[in-house]
Each structure stands twice: as C-alpha cells, then as structure tokens.
C-alpha cells in the first residue's frame, strides 16, 4: 500500500494547491488523506471534496503579539502526538506539505517516524512553516526560481476547474466591462474601502463583482453583485474583464494561468512578511500583472489605473497545465523508492 497525507492550512492559498493535485494523486496512491486543524478552512474544504480529514492541534505563530506564543510549545507537542498516531494508523508512505502553521505538527511527526516529506512553497520567499520543513524534506518544490537553493521549480498547482469557468450574466447591461474585486479567502479591508470610496465613478462605467470576505453581506443591484465568499470563483474569473486582487501566490498563479488583466494591491510589509509585494513584483517584471501599492491607494488612483489597463490587451496565459500530473508522479516515485528504516524502528518502539 502506498498512501499519502496532505497538509497545509490557515488560508485557501495553502489548501487549494493540494486540492489541485487530488485527481492525479488518486490515480497513483492507494489512499489520500488530509491532516489539519479542527473547525478550520481546510476541514470545510475537505468535506466538500470528499477527502478523509483528520484533525491535530496546531497554533499560528504571532509575529506582532509574541506573548500569544507562550502556549505554542505545548500545543505543538500535542499536535505531534496526534499526528504520529494518524500517520501510523493510516500507514502513510509520504507527507506532502503546502505550508502554513497547520502543517507543522504533521511534518515533525513524519520526521520522527522516518516517513519521507516533500513540500511546496508558492511564495517568492519561504514562509516560516516551510523554512522549518525544507531541511527535513526529501524534495523541496518552489514556484519561483532562487527561493530555495536545492529546490525543484514547479508552478503552484492550479485546479482544473479554474480553466472550466462559465461567463455569468449577472447584470442588466452586459455590454459594460466587468470588474472583479477580491481580497483572498479572508477578504481585504483596504480593497473594500477603496471600492467604497470610488464606487460611484466605477459603477457608472463598469459592472462590479465584489467578493467581500468574511462578514460581508450579499447584495445585488443592476451594476453591483456582492458576496462574502465565492464557491464558483472560476465562473467569476471567466466573467471578469479585469481583476483587482491582493498578492497571494495561489490567486496570482490562477489569474496568470488564465491570462487575466490584473491590478495587484499587495498586503504591505509590516502587515505581512512582505511576500505579497515580492510575488507581485516578480509577476510585474514578466509583464503579467500591474501593481498598485496600498500606500498609493487614495483618491482617484484606483479608477485611473483601471481605466488605463482595461483598454490594453490581456497578457498571454502563463502556466504549464501538466504541473499537477508531474508533481503527483514525482511524489509517487519518491514514496515507492524510499526504504524506511527509521520509520520501522519507531514503529517497533
């Protein structure tokens, strides 16, 4: 039996690339399970995808509120103990991590048991969880070159559904161009406020789809369609002529794979570790996106940038669609070829 455990959570950016691999992994592995934190986004998504889900304790690392990290060691130890039990009971052959704090206990448990680990980093620079995981990994994948010195560069896996979106008829005047505003799976206050301030100027010229994030309320007018979370994001991508987004790596990977016009407003360093600014800068150098710093998001700047970009040709799609198949085959080969003396020794204990 060759079985794989997927880990990665906290935001959709850590989860959806794992979901993109599922169809190919299921062709190769005898079983595929997901390990994450209870009552989490990863658990909810796994329920919709019919993936066996197993919870472990985990907690995020607070950079700006260090006193909240006092309980972190105890929580991680509990999570590692739970993960060890799951990995042994399910006879897991390989753990694949997409990062995020939810992945850490399972990665440590796999290392203790001698189970091979592979990880994938979607951001231009590594997040904390993958910085811990990479030295323990059989193989490290990165979406960008030069992220990690011994990495295999593979694009962030994109779900096949993203390429199957249907254009929706949501508005009274279908001849208008359509804008999609979104701030990632958790929303973005700065983008929401910028849209609110410029709503009159934008809605006179464009139809607007607005994914508000958690706490938002559904609302429909002849030129405006708001929803807190999009289950059918592929249809919204297909409907939009231009997307205003944060700089999360998975979202940018999907939008550039589709060849969409994009205005990126990255979460600035200080509110994050600066990864979104780095992601956006890299794609801008390739001519795939346009970047509007949050510090410049005032007055009519947003309207002016949108008016300019929407008249330009959309960029060519930039993605190798065989990426999920390639990664899945490589993971299976690693799982099959590796002997597990450390794991067998641990099991005897």
200 and 226: one domain? yes
Q: Are residues 77 and 146 in the same domain?
A: yes
Q: Which pLDDT score is estimated for 29?
A: 97
How do 152-153 and 139-142 pair as beta strands? parallel
Q: What's 2-51 look like in SS3? A: CEEEEECCCCHHHHHHHHHHHHHHHHHCCEEEEEECCCCHHHHHHHHHCC
* Amino acid 349: pLDDT: 43
The lowest-confidence range among 11-15, 191-195, 338-342 is 338-342
**What is the structure's pLDDT at 338?**
64
Question: Is residue 315 situated within a structural domain?
Answer: no
Per-residue confidence (pLDDT) for residue 66, from 0 to 100: 62
Residues 102 and 85 both lie in one domain: yes
Same domain, 169 and 298: yes
Q: Supply the mean pLDDT for the chain.
A: 89
Q: Are residues 148 and 291 in the same domain?
A: no
**Domain span at 128:** 3-155+321-348
The answer to whether residues 131 and 104 touch, using CB atoms and an 8 Å cutoff, is no
Q: Which residue has the higher pLDDT, 271 or 61?
A: 271
Same domain, 139 and 264: no
- The answer to whether the beta carbons of residues 46 and 5 sit under 8 Å apart is no
pLDDT computed for residue 344 by the predictor: 47
Distance (Å, rounded) from C-alpha 75 to C-alpha 56? 10
Contact 245, 230 (CB under 8 A): no
pLDDT of residue 346: 46
Tens of pLDDT, residue by residue over 223-248, are: 999 998 888 999 999 999 999 999 99
Instruction: Mark whether 203 and 142 lie in a shared domain.
Output: no
Residue 287: half-sphere exposure toward Cβ, Cα within 13 Å = 6
Residue 123: what pLDDT? 95
The CATH number assigned to the domain holding 333 equals: 3.40.50.2000
Instruction: Give tens-digit pLDDT for 304-322.
Output: 999 999 999 999 999 999 9
Higher pLDDT, 67 or 124: 124
Asked if residue 177 is part of any domain, the answer here is yes
Q: List phi, psi (to 5°) of 31.
A: -150, 150
Better pLDDT: 216 or 16: 16
- Spatial separation of the C-alpha atoms in residues 200 and 301, rounded to whole Å: 14
Classify residue 43: in a domain, yes or no. yes
What is the share, in percent, of the chain residues with pLDDT greater than 90? 72
For the chain, the domain total comes to 2
- Does residue 128 sit within a domain? yes
For residue 339, what pLDDT band results from cuts at 50, 70 and 90?
low
pLDDT per residue over 167-224, tens digit each? 999 999 999 999 999 976 555 788 888 888 889 999 999 999 999 887 777 889 999 9
Distances (CA, A) of 333 to 6, 12, 37, 111, 138: 16, 27, 28, 19, 12
Residue reference for tokens 């990126």:
264
Q: Is residue 314 part of a domain?
A: no
pLDDT for 343 equals: 47
Instruction: Give the residue, 194 or 113, on which the prediction is more confident.
Output: 113
Mean pLDDT of 125-149: 95
| Band of residue 299 on the pLDDT scale cut at 50, 70, 90 | low
pLDDT class of 12 with cuts at 50, 70, 90? confident
**Tell me, what's the pLDDT at 67?**
54
Q: Which of 50, 15, 44, 45 is nearest to 251 (CA)?
A: 15
Residue 37 lies in a domain: yes
305/325 same-domain check: no
104 found inside a domain: yes
Residues 37 and 107 in one domain: yes
How does pLDDT run across 32-81, given as a tens digit for each residue?
999 999 998 999 999 999 999 999 987 665 555 665 555 567 677 899 99
Dump the DSSP string for 130-161.
Answer: HHHHGGG-SEEEESSTTSSTTPEE-PPP--GG
Please give the pLDDT value at position 62. 52
Q: Give the residue with greater pLDDT, 119 vs 212.
A: 119
pLDDT band at 342 (very low <50, low <70, confident <90, very high): very low
CB-count burial class (<10 Å; 0-12, 13-18, 19+) for 299? exposed
25 in any annotated domain:
yes
- Considering the domain architecture, whether residues 10 and 119 belong to the same structural domain is answered as yes
How much is the pLDDT for 68?
Answer: 59
Residue 140 has pLDDT above 60, yes or no: yes
**Mean pLDDT over residues 16-28, rounded?**
96
**For residue 348, is pLDDT > 50?**
no
């Amino acid at each position: 039996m060759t079985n794989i455990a997927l880990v990665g959570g906290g935001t959709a950016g850590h989860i959806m690339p794992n979901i993109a691999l599922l169809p190919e992994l299921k062709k190769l592995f005898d079983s595929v399970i997901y390990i994450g934190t209870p009552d989490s986004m990863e658990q909810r998504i796994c329920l919709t995808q019919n993936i066996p889900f197993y919870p472990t304790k985990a907690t995020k690392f607070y950079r700006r509120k260090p006193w909240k990290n006092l309980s972190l060691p105890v929580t991680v130890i509990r999570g590692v103990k739970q993960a060890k039990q799951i990995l042994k009971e399910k006879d897991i052959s390989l753990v694949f991590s997409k990062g995020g704090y939810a992945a850490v206990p399972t990665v440590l448990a796999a290392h203790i048991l001698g189970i091979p680990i592979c990880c994938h980093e979607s951001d231009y620079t590594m997040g904390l969880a993958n910085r811990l995981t990479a030295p323990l990994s059989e193989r490290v994948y990165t979406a960008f070159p030069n992220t990690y010195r011994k990495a295999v560069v593979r694009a962030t896996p994109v779900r096949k559904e993203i390429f199957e979106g249907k254009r929706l008829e949501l508005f009274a005047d279908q001849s208008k161009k359509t804008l999609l505003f979104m701030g990632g799976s958790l929303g973005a206050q700065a983008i929401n406020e910028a849209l609110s301030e410029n709503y009159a100027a934008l809605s006179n010229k464009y139809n607007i789809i607005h994914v508000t994030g958690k706490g938002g309320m559904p609302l429909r007018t002849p030129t405006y369609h708001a929803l807190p979370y999009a289950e059918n994001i592929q249809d919204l991508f297909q409907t939009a002529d231009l997307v205003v987004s944060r700089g999360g790596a998975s979202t940018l990977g999907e939008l550039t794979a589709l060849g969409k016009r994009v205005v990126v407003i990255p979460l600035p360093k200080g509110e994050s570790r600066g990864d979104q600014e780095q992601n956006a800068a890299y794609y801008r150098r390739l001519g795939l996106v346009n970047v509007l710093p949050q510090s410049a998001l005032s007055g009519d700047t947003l309207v002016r940038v949108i008016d300019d970009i929407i008249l330009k040709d959309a960029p060519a799609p930039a993605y190798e669609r065989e990426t999920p198949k390639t990664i899945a085959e490589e993971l299976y080969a690693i799982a099959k070829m590796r002997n597990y003396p450390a794991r067998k020794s641990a099991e005897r204990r």
